[in-house]
Amino acid sequence: MISPRAAQLKVMACPACGLVVEDGQPEAARCPRCSARLTRRRPNSVARAWALLIAGMIFYIPANLLPVMHTSLLGRASDSTILQGVVEFWLAGSYGIALVIFVASVAVPCSKFLILGLLLVTTQRRSTWAMRERARLYRLVEVVGYWSMLDVLVVAIVAALVKFQSLSDIEPRTGILFFGLVVILTMLAAMQFDPRLIWDSEPT
Amino acid sequence: MSDGELRTFPHWVICEHCDSVYRRIALQAGQAARCPRCLAPLYRASRLDAQRWLALTIAAGIVFLIANLCPLVRISLQGLHNEATLWQSAAALAQGPVALIALPAALSIIVVPFLQIVLLGWVLAFACRRRRAPGFAPALRLLGLLRPWSMVEVCLLGILVAIIKLSGFLEVAPGPGIWAMAVLMVLITLIANRDVHWLWEMVDDVAAGAAA
Ligand SMILES: [Zn+2]
Ligand SMILES: [Zn+2]
């Protein structure tokens, strides 16, 4: 037996508190329990998610090309990008840490771009392909997305610690700003996308 | 149009991820209901009653204070010493052209966890006395909005990575703040990573019980 969907029973869920409310009212109805505005779907979900996702993808380029950190140690100064940081750990034999940073700063953002792009394209085409798997991919993006903030926080801690003026000093550089914006923009894109749209193309 | 109340169906539940409608069934503590259509979790029965939940929230508040006051990491290089707290870490980003990024960093590791603890403490303190707190609805809505931006666990991993990164060229020792962060991570997960919707139902039951 297939369970009915909200539209078939003329009900909807309050987006804020989850209460099930009858859906027969015109626009701008409010939830009787928490007075949040009731909407059937997140408004303009696909267009907003695309805009945020594309902005995130564009910022990902300077995030990788520009240095994220400036290190000076006993007179020797160097700038390093995220990938150089990964390579440094790898060459130093810290394979675990290299892998952790690689996952947080390359694997997670790139798979977010791919998955969100795939979800947006398939929902726009009203595809019925692999709905359950696509729903699962969406939940995956929601769960792992924020781990990318790791790089920003590492730079913050390291820069706060190493402050020995001429002897040694670490400062944040512009790349980390772009990288942080990528994380925020892709998180917002995932929040804007409405996973219920995946199931709206299901034949009834 | 009409000012008639909308009809509500408190015994139904709608899957947030696919809009399927189900009848609520009572679960045993610790059990979770899953949506058969999309396999997303629908709702779960909490092991925590309001008293225990409040106790954990107060504990989280104390640990939060320790984590903010104590240094996370201490370093030394050629006889010079330095240490950094959470605030100093977020503030370290607030220099030059990247200053903008200090804001989300401070929010995700300090301000959002703080608000989560305060809002939950407020709501639960009233729930323990079988009352709905003033500002209950906006507090719960804000808790829902804050949840994805709380990054205590990412911060803890960040501290560990920073320690390993620096141990290559200077002496690094963990400070007391790092242990507080580890405990805070567990407590925040316990108190704030649960279904906020569930609080509505709990307080609804309380209100119904008081009316009866
Ligand atoms: Zn509501
Ligand atoms: Zn579902």
pLDDT per position as a tens digit, B53-68: 999 999 999 999 999 9
The mean pLDDT of B183-192, rounded to a whole number, is: 94
- Range 172-211 of B in CB contact (< 8 A) with A: 197, 200, 204
A146 contacts B148? CB cut-off 8 A: yes
pLDDT, residue B1, reads 40
Using DSSP's 3-state secondary structure scheme, residue A112 falls into: helix
Q: How close is the Cα of A198 to the center of ligand 2, in Å?
A: 11
- Write out the two tokens for A68: 């994220």
Q: How is residue A5 annotated by DSSP?
A: B
The proportion of chain B whose per-residue pLDDT surpasses 70, expressed as a percent, equals 91
In the predicted model, is pLDDT for residue B209 greater than 60? no
Decide: A159 and B62 in contact? Cβ < 8 Å: no
CA distance to A53, A87, A176, per residue, from A62 (Å)? 15, 18, 9
Using DSSP's 3-state secondary structure scheme, residue B79 falls into: coil
Decide: A155 and A179 in contact? Cβ < 8 Å: no
Q: What is the pTM of this model?
A: 0.93
Using DSSP's 3-state secondary structure scheme, residue B196 falls into: coil
Min distance A19 CA to chain B CA atoms (Å): 6
Residue partners of A187: CB distance under 8 A and separation at least 6: A145, A146, B148, B149
| CATH classification code of A42-201 | 1.20.140
The mean pLDDT of B101-108, rounded to a whole number, is: 96
DSSP codes joined into one string, B1-38: ---PPPPB-TTEEE-TTT-BEEE-----TT-EEE-TTT
Q: Which of B18, B95, B164 sits opposite A94 (nearest CB)?
A: B164
CA distance to A63, A76, A180, A185, per residue, from A79 (Å)? 14, 11, 18, 26
**Cα–Cα dist A97/B160, whole Å:** 9
Q: Which residues of B touch A171 (CB under 8 A)?
A: 95-96
pLDDT, residue B50, reads 85
Position B151 confidence tier, pLDDT thresholds 50, 70, 90:
very high
Q: How close is the Cα of A200 to the center of ligand 2, in Å?
A: 12
Nearest CA in chain A to B172: A161
Decide: B22 and B15 in contact? Cβ < 8 Å: yes
Q: Which of B5, B12, B39 sits opposite A136 (nearest CB)?
A: B39
**Cα–Cα dist B205/B83, whole Å:** 49
Query: A37 CB near a chain B CB, below 8 Å?
Result: no
**Cα–Cα dist B18/A150, whole Å:** 31
B165 contacts A97? CB cut-off 8 A: yes
- Range 43-102 of B in CB contact (< 8 A) with A: 72-73, 75, 77-78, 80, 82-84, 88-93, 95-98, 100-102
The mean pLDDT of B5-13, rounded to a whole number, is: 88
How many Cβ atoms from other residues are within 10 Å of residue B99's Cβ? 13
**Cα–Cα dist B30/B32, whole Å:** 7
Higher pLDDT, A171 or B44: A171
Site from B165, B194, B204 to mutate, A interface, most A CB atoms within 10 angstroms: B165
In the predicted model, is pLDDT for residue B78 greater than 90? no
**Identity of the amino acid at A55:** A
In the predicted model, is pLDDT for residue B97 greater than 90? no
**Cα–Cα dist B98/A69, whole Å:** 11
User: How many pairs of residues across A and B have Cβ atoms under 8 Å apart?
Assistant: 224
How many Cβ atoms from other residues are within 10 Å of residue B41's Cβ? 14
Q: Which residues of A touch B92 (CB under 8 A)?
A: 156-157, 159-160, 172
Q: Which of A92, A154, A199 sits opposite B158 (nearest CB)?
A: A154
Q: How close is the Cα of A98 to the center of ligand 1, in Å?
A: 45
